[in-house]
């Protein structure tokens, strides 16, 4: 096995913190992954990974080698593609993550055009509302909806989703249409949390130049954006969600907007990627494409 292949295997092991998971993702035996890293360590004369029966973790030397290796492999990709033109110039694995709702409503319907333009790209699309670890799990970029936490990742904000309040016609027939914050005491909120067991903030509403949350009753809590919308269509309560995703349901008469003067704070939409010196052209191409797909559905950042 040549050293470049060994470097790629080491990178996957480091990102996934597991020889087994790395081997599975690369389609090779676990023993081959272990041997490749051992040979790499012998060649370098340095220990790259701490191995125990429960976990695999990079050493200080391993972290430095990991960062330089990713830059080197990116440079090699760029060098190989330098004199290629058209569809053949972009190739390789591309791993991205986004929420299930964004994937279903906006991205997947348009994805064939990207794949047809770049047929040699092998796309791995994760669609989950869980906050993935971009570096450890080996993602090239992720699309996040909502406020960002401080991190070492590079963030590119594309715009914001305007948030509206909705309920189903059947729910409003049973409970009436809320018009003020006081009316919400007689209503049910479908609670959304990223992790079940976490506390729902309640109903968000504007106050002066900011926003506050009002605790509300609700008999159902979900942790998935598709389930959040489906529960509302089923008549289980009120929701606050991006207008772009709900508008088709409103147009079809399956949902009704309520309290338009009491909307939650718009949600930023951002692309995140590792702080590397260079990004592979396939990653740049995907980020350019998805920006073009989403921009018509976003409001500009205030």
pLDDT category of residue 5 using cuts at 50, 70 and 90: confident
pLDDT attached to residue 88: 54
| Domains of the chain with bracketed CATH | 1-83 (1.10.10.10), 85-154+267-302 (3.40.190.10), 163-265 (3.40.190.10)
User: What's the mean pLDDT in 272-282?
Assistant: 77
User: CA 57 to CA 106: how far, in whole Å?
Assistant: 37
User: CA 262 to CA 163: how far, in whole Å?
Assistant: 10
User: CA 219 to CA 149: how far, in whole Å?
Assistant: 30
Indicate the pTM of the whole model.
Answer: 0.73
User: CA 211 to CA 204: how far, in whole Å?
Assistant: 7
Residue 80 confidence (pLDDT) above 70: no
HSE-CB for 57 with a 13 A CA cutoff: 6
pLDDT category of residue 69 using cuts at 50, 70 and 90: confident
What tokens appear for 47 in the block?
């220990």
Percent of the chain topping pLDDT 70: 94
User: What's the mean pLDDT in 153-179?
Assistant: 95
HSE-CB for 201 with a 13 A CA cutoff: 10
User: What's the mean pLDDT in 198-209?
Assistant: 91
User: CA 83 to CA 89: how far, in whole Å?
Assistant: 8
User: CA 249 to CA 90: how far, in whole Å?
Assistant: 38
What tokens appear for 117 in the block?
């333009």
Going by C-beta distance under 8 Å and a sequence separation of 6 or more, which residues neighbour residue 102?
Answer: 127, 143, 145, 225, 294
pLDDT digits (tens, 9 = 90+) for 222-243: 988 889 999 999 999 999 999 9
User: CA 71 to CA 158: how far, in whole Å?
Assistant: 26
pLDDT category of residue 86 using cuts at 50, 70 and 90: low
Local structure of 287: helix, strand or coil = helix
Highest mean pLDDT among 150-154, 186-190, 197-201: 186-190
User: What's the mean pLDDT in 65-87?
Assistant: 70
Local structure of 213: helix, strand or coil = strand
> H helices within the chain, ranges in order?
3-16, 19-26, 30-44, 60-81, 100-102, 111-117, 169-175, 225-233, 243-251, 281-294
């Amino acid at each position: 096995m040549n050293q470049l292949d060994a470097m790629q295997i080491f990178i996957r092991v480091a990102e996934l913190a597991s020889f087994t998971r790395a081997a599975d993702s690369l389609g090779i035996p676990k023993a081959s992954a272990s041997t490749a890293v051992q040979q790499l360590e012998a060649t370098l004369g340095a220990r790259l990974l701490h191995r125990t029966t429960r976990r695999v973790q990079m050493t200080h030397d391993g972290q430095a080698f990991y960062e330089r290796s990713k830059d080197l492999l990116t440079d090699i990709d760029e060098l190989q593609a330098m004199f290629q033109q058209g569809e053949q110039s972009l190739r390789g694995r591309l791993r991205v993550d986004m929420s299930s709702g964004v994937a279903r409503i906006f991205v997947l319907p348009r994805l064939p055009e990207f794949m047809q333009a770049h047929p040699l790209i092998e796309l791995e699309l994760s669609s989950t509302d869980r906050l993935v670890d971009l570096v450890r799990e080996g993602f090239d970029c992720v699309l996040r909806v909502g406020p960002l936490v401080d991190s070492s990742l590079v963030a590119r904000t594309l715009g914001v989703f305007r948030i509206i309040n909705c309920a189903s016609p059947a729910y409003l027939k049973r409970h009436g249409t809320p018009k003020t914050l006081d009316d919400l005491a007689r209503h049910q909120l479908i609670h959304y949390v990223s992790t079940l067991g976490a506390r729902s903030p309640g109903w968000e509403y504007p106050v002066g130049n900011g926003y506050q949350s009002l605790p509300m009753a609700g008999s159902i809590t979900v942790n998935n954006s598709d389930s959040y919308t489906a529960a509302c269509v089923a008549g289980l309560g009120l929701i606050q969600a991006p207008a772009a995703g709900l508008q088709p349901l409103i147009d079809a008469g399956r949902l009704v907007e309520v309290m338009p003067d009491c909307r939650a704070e718009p949600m930023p939409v951002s692309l995140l990627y590792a702080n590397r010196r260079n990004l592979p052209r396939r990653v740049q191409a995907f980020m350019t494409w998805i920006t073009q797909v989403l921009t018509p559905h976003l409001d500009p950042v205030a």
